[in-house]
Structure 1
Amino acid sequence: MHKALGLLLLLSSPLHAELVTAPVKVTSQRDNLLGVAESASEGSVSQARISQLPLSRPGEVLELTPGMVVSQHSGDGKANQYYLRGFNLDHGTDFSTWLEGMPLNMPTHAHGQGYTDTNLLIPELISGLHYRKGPYYAEAGDFSAAGTASLRYARTLPKGIAQISMGPNQYQRLLNADSIALAGGDLLYALELQRDDGPWDSPQDLRKLNGVLRYSQGTQAQGFDILAMTYQNHWDASDQVPQRAVESGQIGRFGNIDPSSGGETQRTSLSADWRQGPWQASAYAVSSHLNLFSNFTYFLDDPVNGDQFEQADRRRIYGGKLKYGWDQALFGIQGLHDVGVQIRFDDIRNAGLYHTRDRERLDTVRQDKVKQASAGLWWQSSWALAPNWRVITGLRADQYAFDVNSDLAANSGTEQAHILSPKLGLAWRAGPDTELYANWGRGFHSNDGRGSTIRMDPGTADPANRVDPLVRAVGQEVGLRAHWLPGWQSTLALFQLELDSELLFIGDAGATEASRPSHRVGVEWSNALQVGRWGELEADVALTRARFRDASADGNHIPGAVESTASLGYRLQRGPWSGAVRLRYLGPRALIEDNSVRSEGALLVNSRVGYQINPQLGIAVDVLNLFDREVSDIDYFYLSRLPGEAAGGVADLHSHPAQPRMLRVSVRLSY
């Protein structure tokens, strides 16, 4: 009864709630991985750090991966845009993301290869984030050339959470979560409701529903979990807009050309995870659908009805993995060994592209059913060659099969492919506070399965070239991890990465396409420093040079490839007061191959101040985009045509603005 009464009182409050932590001493956001990590660019982030991060969207949790920037080029119900290691990763290409053992990347997706929607995350439930950058890890398969991130949800909560969020532009968020003892285990439940119109001239009318139900027994080492999740989102979108329309006054900075763009998405999943001694096993089933309406070129192709198109994706995903680990010496060398198998089957009922007007279908461009299966077998061992030396060896073998049933018979067919990915690493404990690393590895990303059987362009009926189903990546890295001063953790990594074919988002087509071979070289420096007893400072910087490897008259710059990112943050917890401020910088980028058109850099600062009124009730204020910077979340350069313009269209910069300064007040009741 007291829990229900507490929730009722909170629901009547006019204030808004994000997570407000109890007054505790600040501890480092990054675990001490000396003697454990396999590279300098591997790391873990605790729930305590995640809970204090001022977020404008849930996917920004991934920005705790040093060098990562998360942005958006459409409505907030669409998958985010990700930048890391010289990549514009679009919606997830070359960066694999996992939630509770389930892959979030979607291959052969109607909108983009590797489409990764992190809007389903509930940050308050995330118990930790583990990231690994580079293709050096045998357990990581498809889409992991740039890196991988694994997110875990809590199995229990120390107290129930009831919180309300409110801010400008009809921003409202409600979260209720708790865990109870049940039948010898624990049952965790959470329900999230959110609406948000955003600052856009045409409100985005976002409506989100998110639910989690988890039953667990035992521990993380010996036990099992059953997890059910459901997520729905509906929104209208501004998309990116042409610079000439803003400069002429035709639309405002937060205006749009086609107010009927937007979409809806749903995802429901059931998964199970079992751990017993050296064995780990998991299985999952996912149902997902997306209807996305976009118009990037306006009236370039169809001057009467406009160029709006719908991308529809309907699929069922089934998969799982089995892992076994043991200790065994070989020729007198002690080793830690892991072997595993991963399987996945995507039953894609529809990957469709339609010409639309005001979200009504006018004609079908293409409509495909695809069955895509993959199996990966991997082995990895860590050998203790000497007290201070470790050698990590690994090998991964992947087999893929594609069965495409297209509405154009010429594009139907089957295809198979396989790839081997060896790995090698060396770690030297140079001192009690220093470890040096050298890593080499092969990885890969898959291409859209429809491209492996295509013969005819569905839009023009011209002959089309097939793509390789699996594309090899080769990476090298040297680095160090150091704790040279009390409370200071620092990592430095120098890396290079080559891809046999770059995956690019084509702005005027609204899809991801395979392109030319590429090469990247870069450096990353990451730091966390305890400041006194109550505060911590973090600073990360990454610089990358990305180029196509083949010669072309168009140039060799990779459009959208990020050249520099940086973040600087400080958080403080003392008595009932807490605070956090975080600066993140996304550097300029070439937008076309000859580098004649470039985007500007974007610097944003988010902040939070919290006060714990009593052990049950806390309040916090978030100010997002603290200095109200008028910068872009993303920029593209391509042809588009506005009403009255010449038939050939105008090549122009198209941008999606970052949201203006926003104040959100937060109240949380712990019960």
Structure 2
Amino acid sequence: MKNNVLCIVSVLLLLIETQSRAEGLSEEQNNITESEQQDIDDVVLILGERENLIGVAQSASQGVVSREEIQQRPMSRTGEILEFVPGMVVTQHSGTGKANQYFLRGFNLDHGTDFATSIDGMPINLRTHGHGQGYTDLNFIIDKSVDSISYKKGAYYADVGDFSGAGAAEIKTVNQVNHGVAEFTVGENAYYNFTILDGFDNVEDSWIYAVNINTRDGPWTDINEDLNKTSVLLKNSREVGGGIFEVTAMLYDNSWNSADQIPQRAVQAGIIDELGSIDTSVGGESNRYSLSLNWQNDNYLASLYAIQYDLNLWSNFTYFLDAEIDGDQFQQVDSRSVYGGRIVRDFSREQNGLAIKNKVGIEARYDDIGEVGLHRSINRIRNGTVRSDKVEELSVASFFENSISWTENLKTIVGFRYDYYQFDVSSLVNTNTYGVDVSQNGGTTDDGIFSTKASLVYALSDEWESYWSMGQGFHSNDARGTTIKVDPVSGQPVEKVDPLVRSFGYELGVRGFWNEQLNTSVALWNLELDSELLFVGDAGNTEPAGASKRKGIEITAYYRLTKDWAFDLEYAYTDAEFVNTSEGRFVPGAVKEVIQAGVNANFTNGWFGSARLRYFGERPLDEAGSVFSDSTSLVNLRLGYRFDHWVITTDILNALDSNDHDIDYFYASRLNSEPTGAEIDDLHYHVLEPRTLRVSVTYNF
């Protein structure tokens, strides 16, 4: 009902907006529609290419992705916008509404740890999350509202703190639209998607609004996903105090059923097929509401934000291993409010003939988590509590960055950062379902960490620039692990985790930009991560993670052959291993090779198209290197035609109908038909969705 109402409201807004524009046009103004049409055509005609960052970037692995490039790529899910980061792989092992799995630079980032993501100044990573530390759910984002994605890999940047070991990405939404867009997409498996994006200007300010409604059942043989997603964006921009002041509200609500990863032996035995499920009652509900304020001029940036977030997630990865009668289904709960902000000042001067730029900033974040919990469940009905806690987590940070241009060719950047954290954990239960007194797992602790960053940039010519970068980064750990005393299942004493875990990396690279046609870069990088204990949200306890070392090479090339044709190629190779260990040296989930390649064509006669290949190589699934996944290849195609104010687009996702695996795990589980006490080590995987056709009709007004 709610979605029906929103859909009707959106259509009415479209009709009212279109009518008001039509009535406001005099005959003379009607003759100016050629200019308006050019604005509309530019969205399709301009072939997206990475921005020229020579003279701006401080490493070879920085980049900026334009709105045009984002809009021309066929994507099956929202989270794939992070695949614009070269070397990043975005997959899914569960339902559409759950945060994706991310892989980058030899990390299985799980749902976000070690890669910091933000939107309009608000952090997306959620610390001390019910499912996983750094949980990064991008499903609330409306694709058509994204104006740019700025990414910077490595820990070389003073303005990025937590979860920054592998890098960071800042997503910015549009603050101005030249025309409105209404799009309706229909696809196989009851896929429906409606989006409207528009805005209007007043004398003193401008408004932008966007609404997205998405439903689907999915291709699964024994469940309907019953996805029911609604996202809303409302933004106001105006000039205040010599700068631009923006107020942005975002609303998101979603519910879904999940098709989780499945055991290979169940498929081989004919119990289920590759699109089947063992537990058909898992899924989730999530919502996110946010309000952000941003003010910026030439020298200052100030931001404030407030986020309300809730998640109920039901999962079952081991089936009947721990609870042979009731099953192993569990519910993870996360309900929180997040408040924060930052102030940054840039100032420049010349001294002794040297151009000097300085940046100084302070930031703070407070997570007021009403409940972060792990509960046992049967068919989504809770039947016991493992852990349930209230958590308050506060962090404050300051940073300084200095850039000096010593000559026309040589520049140095040096940065320093200090982060301080406070953790306060209070158990909401005394004795849990296993008879363990988990109230003793509460407590308070704090920690701080100082980080140093440095880069040297040397311009080889007007077209080529070289870089040497190094930096210390870190990620925070789940607050519950910093105060834990006993295992909530066994009741045995356990060791606390380190609140903040250090990483260190360095990079050599070069970037070239030729004749406004070829944008290319090469980066050789190395990253070391300290050994640590990790808090495991799926179990409520801790487990060790050894010190690790990763190194690799990344090559990118974006080539605009003509006005009509553009090509891109991204290649990443990584070698990852545990160090100083007598056990296995293989890092589970570390992808060795990633290739992204694409061709885009836009013709003046109205036709346009795109073809993309994504390949990621085999990866070890255990520390011993005894089990490896196969490689995965995926091809997506797009063909479209534009005329007048209309655009018709056809996407063929997984065009070759590959049945490669989206993700693989190797662990022990037990099926209901297997002997009591059995623990069967097996490959568990989630297959790529079969080839699917989606057709979109877009009206530009």
| Alpha-carbon distance between aligned partners in 2 of 1:221 and 1:176, rounded to the nearest angstrom | 32
Contact 1:606 1:625 in 2 (8 A): yes
Paired residue type of 1:648: A
* Residue 15 of structure 2 corresponds to residue 4 of structure 1: yes
Distance in 2, matches of 1:518 and 1:137, equals 22
Q: Is the 8 A contact 1:557 1:594 kept in 2?
A: yes
Which residue number in structure 1 is paired with residue 117 of structure 2? 97
- Secondary structure of 1:244's match? helix
Answer 1 or 2: which has greater helix percent.
2
**Match in the other structure for 1:354:** 375
Q: Secondary structure at the match of 1:120?
A: coil
* Aligned-pair CA distance for 1:200: 0.9
SS at match of 1:115: coil
- 5+ residue gaps, structure 1, are 9-19
Distance 1:165 1:389, change over 3 A: same
**Counterpart AA for 1:294:** S
State whether structure 2 residue 338 is matched by structure 1 residue 317: yes
Name the counterpart of 2:66: 46
Amino acid at match of 1:624: L
Q: Give the corresponding residue for 2:393.
A: 372
From 571, 576, 579, the counterpart of 2:609? 579
Residue in 1 that maps onto 2:496: 466
Show the counterpart of 1:299.
Answer: 320
- Where 2:95 maps in the other structure, the secondary structure is coil
- Residues 527-578 of structure 1: CA deviation (Å, up to 9, x unaligned): 101112211100000000111112133x011111111111000101111111
Higher relative contact order (CA 8 A, sep 6+): 1
Question: Counterpart of 2:659?
Answer: 630
8 Å Cα contact 1:47-1:128 kept in structure 2: yes
Secondary structure of the residue that 1:106 maps to in structure 2?
Answer: coil
Alignment of 1:285-296 (within 5 A): 285-296=306-317
Match of 1:88 in 2: 108
Q: By how many angstroms is 1:163 displaced? A: 1.2
Match in the other structure for 1:15: none
Q: Deviations over 1:298-337 (max 9, x none)?
A: 0001111000000000000000000000102355532111
Give the letter aligned to residue 161 of structure 1.
V
Residues 498, 532 of structure 2: 8 Å contact kept: no
- Report the counterpart of residue 28 of structure 2 in structure 1: none
For residues 532 and 669 of structure 1, what CA distance do their matches in structure 2 show?
A: 27
Identify which range, 503-512 or 164-173, moves more after superposition: 503-512
Aligned equivalents of 1:643 and 1:282: distance in 2?
53
- Report deviation, 1:218: 3.4
% identity of equivalent residues: 44
Q: d(CA) in 2 for partners of 1:630 and 1:284?
A: 43
Matches of residues 266-345 of structure 1 in structure 2 within 5 Å? 266-330=287-351, 332-345=353-366
Aligned residue in 1 for 2:276:
255
Counterpart contact for 2:67–2:148, Cα < 8 Å: yes
Q: 1:51, 1:124 within 8 Å by CA — same for their partners in 2?
A: yes
Quick one: distance in 1 between partners of 2:589 and 2:515?
Answer: 38
Deviations 1:495-535 (A, max 9, x none): 00001136879798599955111110100001101112211
Instruction: Tell me which of 113, 124, 132 is aligned to 2:133.
Output: 113
Contact 1:111/1:512, CA 8 A, preserved across alignment: no
Q: 1:454 aligns with which of 475, 484, 489?
A: 484
> Which letter does structure 2 place at the counterpart of 1:4?
L
- Give the TM-score taking structure 1 as reference length: 0.95
The answer to whether the 8 Å contact 1:23/1:574 transfers is no
Aligned residues: 658
User: Which of 189, 207, 210 is the equivalent residue of 2:231?
Assistant: 210
Equivalent in 624, 627, 643 of residue 597 of structure 1: 627
Supply the RMSD in Å over aligned alpha carbons: 2.0
2:49 — aligned with what? 29
Q: C-alpha separation between the residues in 2 aligned to 1:514 and 1:222?
A: 49
How far, CA to CA, are the matches of 1:628 and 1:369 in structure 2? 46
Partner of 1:105: helix, strand, or coil? coil
- Take 2:533 and 2:649, find their aligned partners in 1: how far apart are those partners? 41
With normalisation by structure 2, the TM-score equals 0.91
CA distance in 2, matches of 1:519, 1:305: 42
480-489 vs 302-311, which moves further: 480-489
Give me the whole-angstrom Cα distance separating, in 1, the residues matched to 2:395 and 2:187. 45
- Aligned residue for 1:670? 700
Distance 1:477 1:240 in 2: 36
Whether the aligned pair in 2 keeps the contact of 1:279 and 1:325 (CA below 8 Å) is yes
The code of the aligned residue for 2:161 comes to: G
Cα offset, 1:452, TM superposition: 0.5
Q: For the structure 1 residues 512 and 119, does the alpha-carbon distance in structure 2 shift closer, same or farther, using more than 3 Å as the test? A: farther
Instruction: Report if aligned partners of 1:447, 1:514 keep a CA contact under 8 Å in 2.
Output: no
Among 177, 189, 193, the alignment partner of 1:173 is 193
Distance in 1 (CA, whole Å) between partners of 2:478 and 2:360 is: 28
Label 1:218 to 1:5 Cα distance change in 2 as closer, same or farther (>3 A).
closer
Looking at structure 2, the residues matched to 86 and 327 of structure 1 have their Cα atoms a distance apart, in angstroms, of: 38
What is the CA–CA distance in structure 1 between the aligned matches of 2:250 and 2:43, rounded to whole Å? 31
Contact 1:112 1:512 in 2 (8 A): no
Shift of the 72–645 alpha-carbon distance from structure 1 to 2, 3 Å rule, reads same
Aligned mates of 2:659, 2:535 — CA distance in 1:
24
Aligned-partner Cα distance in 2 for 1:514–1:430: 45
1:58 to 68, 73, 78: 78
1:449-598 equivalence runs, <5 A: 449-484=479-514, 487-501=517-531, 509=539, 515-553=545-583, 555-575=584-604, 576-598=606-628
Q: Is the 8 A contact 1:397 1:420 kept in 2?
A: yes
Q: Which residue of 2 aligns with 1:11?
A: none
After superposition, what is the alpha-carbon deviation per residue over 1:607-626, rounded to whole angstroms, capped at 9, x for unaligned? 11110021x11100000001
CA contact (8 A) 2:481 2:542 kept: no
